[in-house]
Amino acid sequence: MKIRIKNIEFKNPVFTASGTFGYGDELKDILPLEKLGAIVTKGISLKERKGNPPPRLAETPCGLLNSIGLENIGIERFVKEKLPSLKNIGTEIIVNVFGEKIEEYVEISKILEKEGIRCIELNLSCPNVEKGGMEFGRDEKIVRKIVEKVRENFNGVIFVKLSPNFVDILKISKSAEKGGADALTLINTIIGTSIDVENLCFKLKRGFGGLSGPAIRPIALYIVYRVYQEVDIPIAGVGGISDAKSAIEFLLAGATCIQIGTQNFIDPWISFKIIDGIKEFLKRKNMKLEEIIGYLNKK
Amino acid sequence: MFVEEKAEIINIIDLDKDYYEIILSSPQISKLAKPGQFVNIKIQEGDFPLLRRPFSIWSAKENYIELLIKEIGIGTKILRKEKKGKISVIGPLGKPFPSPQKDDIIVLLGGGTGIVPLCFYAEKIENKKIFFIGFKHSPNPYILKRIEEISDKIFISTEDGSFGFKGILSELFKEEIEDIDSEKTKYFLCGPYEMLKTFEKILPIDRTFVSLEGIMGCGFEICMGCAVKKRDEDRYIRVCKEGPLFLLKDVEI
């Protein structure tokens, strides 16, 4: 079940998705976190961010809208308060990096490199902030520039997480690859809204947010399938995976690894069930993991 | 520390148009549960409704937990019609209510389902307990009996005047506050937003605890959804982690 991306070997292809598993160590007394392929932390910015006012969540049919707004304690406190515990978990930690300015991505990456972090995920796709995030991810030149600048300063594995909102995701994916990304994370949430008719207002205080959950799975799956044909770097597939079967869908479409997002909220044990489920599937089909990755896809 | 348990539905009792009680056989959670905590229930298997639904624990004893639920949306509607069988419950979640000082007088102020965590608390503490409850219309006698059993004194208001004081709970409370309030009086408040706002103006915020609701993704610290603003500070804390009970002087409602 091992996978390799660049020079890093992951125990298995099942990761937790950024923003859906806290800083990563909250559930360490309850879950065998060392069994995960990797943990992707919530988005970390240079300065502390308080996030958006509540309500920050609204449930939709088979989906969840969120406008958390990247609430986080900032890189300095993250390094001091969270990293020591995360480093002891016994699996790979991928720090999700967010910036309002290009330089912020670079600065955070430098700090993480110094702290011995081997993998980062550049968040160029969050729809819930005024500056940065999705705004950068819409522009192929900026995407390339950010990845290049971070690449100059970070030797480990760089995942670039992209948004399907208002963009040609194929072009943006290629830009990230040209900039030096080692892998792509596809996809971030899809922008959406929901309205409280009785009270004549939006359900989210901010008005709109990012949709996740099984509702977006077919869209995410198709994007993984399509982008796989266009790039030569691995893809982390994410979007509405809720069981081993849906995880395997992403592998067959071309994902080298998958990330579990919203389903963590419903079942925090889900990643371990999915690891077992993929193992069982491979055994039953008498196939190896590398055989099913991209099985339904031709370059 | 929380667990997931496949709890057996022992009974679902219709109390009136809005309210029902559900009794679950949940040996692990019932042993761990403390007053003020909640459980998060997967209404049915599959992707709809997607999220679990959080419910305050009404009572927990022996191997059972009891929940008093108001039908307010699709989740609580489906749950009400659930057949007997097993249901996934995660809990207990949130911080328990604090243990009172021996001579504290505990005043519990509950509106609608806001009475639920207060009842569990009242059941477990030995102090003098005065219960103020407010409903839109006359509550089911079963609910009343339950509260009578666990309180030393009980005051009731209904908005339509069908039982007790006619009007909102804060109006009834204002008539009694002089006789009740002392430095030893601690208030525990839980109910709809408008009620909390009204009581915020009346109660001493450094002796009042408020149990809050929040729209929750998980209930166990990882989604950052159930944010509540710290009073006088420019930051948010979480209903599921730092709460659901807060000292009123610490949060903005």
Whole-number percent of chain B with pLDDT over 90: 96
pLDDT at residue A204 in the model:
98
Task: State the average pLDDT over residues A19-28.
Answer: 96
Pick the residue from chain B with its C-alpha nearest to A217: B47
Q: Chain A residues with CB inside 8 Å of B49's CB? A: 59
Cα separation, A290 vs A166, in Å, equals 33
Residue pair A50/B234 in contact (Cβ under 8 Å)? The answer is yes
Tell me, yes or no, if A232 comes closer than 8 A to chain B by beta carbon.
no
Q: What is the pLDDT of residues A250-295, one digit of tens each?
A: 999 999 999 999 999 999 999 999 999 999 999 999 999 999 999 9
Residue with tokens 């489920």: A277
More confident residue, A127 or A96: A96
pLDDT given for residue A299 in this prediction: 62
Strands B236-238 and B227-229: antiparallel
Round to whole Å and give the CA distance between B226 and B241: 9
Instruction: Residue A179: count other Cβ atoms within 10 Å of its Cβ.
Output: 22
Yes or no: say if A115 and A84 are a contact pair by the CB < 8 Å rule. Answer: no
A126 is catalytic: yes
Residues A132, B187: Cα–Cα separation, whole Å: 45
Q: B1, B29, B78, B222: which to substitute to probe chain A, counting the most A Cβ within 10 Å?
A: B222
> With a cut of 0.85, is the ipTM above it?
yes
- Please give the DSSP secondary-structure letter assigned to residue A180: T
pLDDT in tens, B61-96: 999 999 999 999 999 999 999 888 999 999 999 999
Closest CA to A94 of A69, A118, A67: A118
Residues of B in contact with A68 (CB under 8 A): 223-225
* Overall average pLDDT of the B169-189 stretch: 94
Q: Tokens standing for A30?
A: 């309850």
Cβ <8 Å between A51 and B52: no
DSSP string spanning A17-66? PTTSSTTS-TTTTTS-GGGSSEEEPPPB-SS-B--PPSP-EEEETTEEEE
Q: Across residues B176-202, what is the average pLDDT?
A: 94
Nearest CA-CA distance, residue A69 and chain B, Å: 10
Give B96→chain A minimum CA distance, Å. Answer: 19
For β-strands A257-260 and A14-16, DSSP reports them as parallel
Instruction: Write down all domains in chain A, each with its CATH number in brackets.
Output: 3-51+69-192+213-298 (3.20.20.70)
| Minimum CA–CA partner of B45 in chain A | A266
Encode pLDDT of A154-179 as tens digits: 999 999 999 888 899 999 999 999 99
Interchain pair B51, A62: CB under 8 A = no
Q: Are strands B64-70 and B128-135 parallel, antiparallel or unpaired?
A: unpaired
Instruction: Tell me the CB-side half-sphere exposure of residue B181, using CA atoms within 13 A.
Output: 12
Sole residue written with tokens 């006359």: B138
Q: pLDDT tens digit string along A58-72?
A: 999 999 999 999 999
Contact check, Cβ <8 Å, A66/B1: no
With CB atoms and an 8 Å threshold, state whether B228 touches A54. yes
User: B50–A59: do the CB atoms touch at under 8 Å?
Assistant: yes
Nearest CA in chain B to A215: B47
Interchain pair B227, A66: CB under 8 A: no
| Helix A102-114 / helix A140-153 crossing angle, nearest 10 deg | 30
Supply φ then ψ for residue A278, to 5 degrees. -65, -40
* Average pLDDT for A130-139: 84
Structure confidence by residue, pLDDT tens digits, B33-51: 999 999 999 999 999 999 9
Of B105, B129, B109, B102, nearest in space to B182 by CA = B105
The three-state secondary structure class of A133 is coil
* pLDDT mean over A84-104: 96
> What is chain A's Cα-based Rg?
18
Cβ-based burial of A298 (10 A; exposed 0-12, middle 13-18, buried ≥19): exposed
- Cα–Cα distance between A146 and A140 in angstroms, integer? 10
Mutation site for A-interface testing, chosen from B212, B223, B251 by largest number of A Cβ within 10 Å: B223
CB-based contacts of B45, cutoff 8 Å, min separation 6: none
Q: Could A54 and B227 be called an inter-chain contact, meaning their C-beta atoms sit closer than 8 Å?
A: yes
SS (H, E, C) chain B: CCEEEEEEEEEEEECCCCEEEEEEECHHHHHHCCCCCEEEECCCCCCCCCCCEEEECCEEECCEEEEEEECCCHHHHHHHCCCCCEEEEEEEECCCCCCCCCCCEEEEEEEHHHHHHHHHHHHHCCCEEEEEEEECCCCCHHHHHHHHHHCCEEEEEECCCCCCEECCHHHHHHHHHHHHCCCCEEEEEECCHHHHHHHHHHCCCCCEEEECCCCCCCCCCCCCCCEEEECCCCCEEECCCCCCEEEHHHECC
- Residue B120's nearest CA partner among B43, B39, B178 is B39
Element holding A140 (H helix, E strand) = helix A140-153
Burial A104-120 (b: 16+ CB within 10 A, else e): bbbbbbebbbeeebbbb
Query: Per DSSP, what are the bridge partners of residue A293?
Result: none
Which residues of B are less than 8 Å from A213 in CB distance?
Answer: 47, 50
CB atoms within 10 A of CB A264: 25
pLDDT at A77 > cutoff 80: yes
Per-residue model confidence (pLDDT) at position B83: 82
* Residues of A with Cβ-Cβ distance to B214 under 8 angstroms: 54
Which residue is closest to A268 within chain B, CA to CA? Answer: B218
Whole-number Å distance between alpha carbons of A140 and A13 = 28
Q: Hey, how many other C-beta atoms are within 10 angstroms of the C-beta on B64?
A: 18
Reply yes or no on whether the pLDDT at A235 is more than 80: yes
Alpha-carbon span B99 to B117, nearest angstrom? 14
Please answer yes or no on whether B235 and A56 come within 8 Å at the CB atom. no
Rounded average pLDDT over A23-39: 97
Number of cross-chain residue pairs from A and B with Cβ atoms under 8 Å apart: 95
The residue in chain B having the minimum alpha-carbon distance to the alpha carbon of residue A25 is B222
Query: Would you state the pLDDT for residue B178?
Result: 87
Nearest to A62 among B50, B220, B224 (CB): B50
Selecting from B51, B224, B227 the residue whose C-beta is nearest the C-beta of A266 gives B51
Minimal Cα–Cα distance from B198 to chain A, Å?
20
| Strand-strand pairing, A38-40 and A92-97 | parallel
**Partners of residue A264 in chain B, C-beta under 8 Å:** 218, 222
Token pair 């929750």 in the structure block, residue: B216
Hey, what amino acid is at B127?
Answer: N
How close A65 comes to chain B (CA, Å)? 10
